[in-house]
Amino acid sequence: MNLKNYIRSIPNYPKKGILFRDITTLIKDEKAFAESIDQIVERSKKFKIDKIAAIESRGFVFASAVSYLLKKPFIMLRKKDKLPAETYSVDFELEYGTATIEVHKDSIKKDDSVLIIDDLIATGGTAEAAAKLVEVSGGNVAAFIFAINLFDLGGSDNLVDKGYLVENLMDFPGH
């Protein structure tokens, strides 16, 4: 099954010049969604994993299913002020602004090996912030797995250049 056939492209969203790659068309098809989860699970077998983390919000869709199948704890990396207990925070740059993500301080223990899953990587700012959250918590990033890599925006390559292991299910241009 070619998962790329299930991704809808929407020009000029959320702003002019952006070509948005929409996963809702993939996840609403039960066979395509199952195939994407199966591919992530298969790729995750390459790594030693204690926990699975995902970036809000579309990363939760994939990571929670993978966490369930692999019987690993699921850690939510959330937008600022969305978690009720004590958190670590990391600020980062987006293609069109700035943001903050957080994790509960008790989510990741020293030397936990954490797989980070998200729906898409563009420039990599959010992914780098997620890695910093894992590391400031005392954990190690086992790898990243993304459903979509916008290869011409360089985020995946940037993570590899920083020493992280990265797997992508699909590659699309970002423009």
How many residues belong to the chain? Answer: 175
Q: What is the DSSP string of 120-160?
A: EESSSHHHHHHHHHHHHTT-EEEEEEEEEEEGGG-HHHHHH
Q: Which residues pair with 79 in a beta bridge?
A: 101
pLDDT at 95 > cutoff 80? no
Higher pLDDT, 90 or 95: 90
pLDDT at 52 > cutoff 90? yes
The catalytic site residues sit at 58, 95
What rounded mean pLDDT belongs to the chain?
A: 96
Q: What integer is the mean pLDDT of 81-108?
A: 92
- Residues 108-130: tens digit of each pLDDT: 999 999 999 999 999 999 999 99
- Say what the pLDDT of residue 17 is: 83
Q: What is the DSSP string of 17-67?
A: T-EEEE-HHHHTSHHHHHHHHHHHHHHHTTS--SEEEEETTHHHHHHHHHH
Q: Which residue has the tokens 């980070």?
A: 116
pLDDT at 97 > cutoff 80? no
175 confidence band (pLDDT: 50, 70, 90): confident
